[in-house]
């Protein structure tokens, strides 16, 4: 059974949160990519909730979570993740984030390492330059809605082989993208636009697994290797996937996470 709840942040934003698994188990907090909801973790939920107190949430501006007008920041998104843990009375947790969720994980490793047990950074990067590309994307979404972006995103997020073999799963993600509030999507685009965590990457002392997709055009294996090399205790696993590796290679992804968290 899943328990749904609302967590209100210190700036008054309501975040949708779901909790599954045994109350006595170690907590694992999942953080989704830009443009998706907590549902993107559905392929992992059954296995992970048997081992962990599984907590997932819609990031601000995504899914059922609210978002005030204007730009968000990576600092704000990181503090949102801490707000979820605080509301649940959790002092320390495992954390697994993909893409934007992985950027939040990097922020936590540098700014709040005492709250982390082990860390998984999947299909992510310390910097997503150039800022002008993100500015163009957020302006396009605000002007034209999510439609044009959704199809382009699928081409980056999945390999051609996956799109051909799994049209239903691809459409599941497409519908998730189309359901986005353009204002919320744009706010998080601004957080990624303004982010550069390369200088703080060496502050990561948390035992870390970095997952990369060997066909990921958005966050490359080289981006992943940078995070591994900068951290004190990190290793790399590369999966035969593009950007949403947890959806394209669900069994391999889940097993890699379990092997790392223990």
Query: Is the separation of the CB atoms in 123 and 211 below 8 Å?
Result: yes
**Which pLDDT score is estimated for 216?**
98
**Partners of 28 in the β-ladder:** 54, 94
- Are the C-beta atoms of residues 33 and 219 closer than 8 Å to each other? no
**Cβ neighbour number for residue 198 with a 10 Å cutoff:** 15
In the predicted structure, residue 69 carries a pLDDT above the cut 90: no
pLDDT, position 42? 98
pLDDT per position as a tens digit, 156-214:
999 999 999 999 999 999 999 999 999 999 999 999 999 999 999 999 999 999 999 99
- 75 contact partners, CB below 8 Å, separation of at least 6: 107, 111
Handedness of CA 173, 76, 210, 119 (dihedral sign): negative
Burial letters for 204-241: b for 16+ Cβ neighbours within 10 Å, e otherwise?
Answer: bebbbbbbbbebbebbbeebbebbbebbeebebbbbeb
Strands 3-8 and 27-31: unpaired
Instruction: Say yes or no to pLDDT of 1 above 90.
Output: no
Kind of pairing, strands 93-98 and 14-20? unpaired
Average pLDDT of span 16-42: 97
Beta strands 93-98 and 27-31 are parallel
Which tens digits make up the pLDDT trace of 246-258? Answer: 999 999 999 999 9
Measured distance CA(141)–CA(219) in Å, rounded = 21
Structural element, H or E, at residue 75: helix 74-87
Residue 50 has pLDDT above 90, yes or no: yes
Please give the domain boundaries of the chain with CATH numbers for all domains. 3-261 (3.40.50.1820)
- Does this model's pTM top 0.85? My answer is yes
| Helix count and strand count (H, E) for the chain | 11, 8
pLDDT at 205: 98
């Amino acid at each position: 059974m899943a328990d749904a709840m609302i967590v209100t942040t210190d700036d008054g934003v309501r975040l949708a949160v779901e909790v599954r698994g045994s109350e006595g188990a170690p907590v694992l907090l999942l953080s989704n990519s830009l443009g998706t909801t907590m549902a993107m973790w559905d392929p992992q939920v059954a296995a992970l909730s048997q081992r962990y107190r599984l907590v997932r949430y819609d990031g601000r501006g995504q899914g059922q979570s609210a978002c005030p007008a204007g730009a968000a920041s990576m600092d704000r998104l990181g503090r949102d993740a801490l707000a979820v843990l605080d509301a649940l009375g959790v002092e320390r947790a495992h954390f697994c984030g993909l893409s934007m969720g992985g950027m939040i994980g990097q922020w936590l490793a540098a700014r709040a390492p005492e709250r982390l047990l082990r860390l998984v950074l999947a299909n992510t990067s310390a910097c997503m330059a150039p800022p002008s590309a993100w500015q163009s994307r957020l302006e396009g979404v605000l002007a034209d809605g999510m439609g044009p972006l959704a199809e382009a995103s699928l081409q980056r997020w999945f390999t051609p082989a996956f799109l051909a073999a799994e049209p239903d799963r691809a459409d599941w993600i497409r519908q998730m993208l189309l359901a986005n509030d353009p204002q919320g999507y744009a706010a998080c685009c601004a957080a990624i636009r303004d982010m550069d965590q390369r200088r703080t990457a060496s502050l990561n002392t948390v035992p870390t697994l970095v997952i990369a997709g060997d066909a990921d055009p958005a966050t490359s294996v080289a981006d992943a290797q940078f995070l591994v090399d900068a951290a004190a205790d990190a290793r790399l696993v590369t999966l035969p996937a593009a950007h949403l590796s947890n959806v394209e290679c669900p069994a391999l992804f889940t097993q890699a996470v379990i092997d790392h968290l223990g």
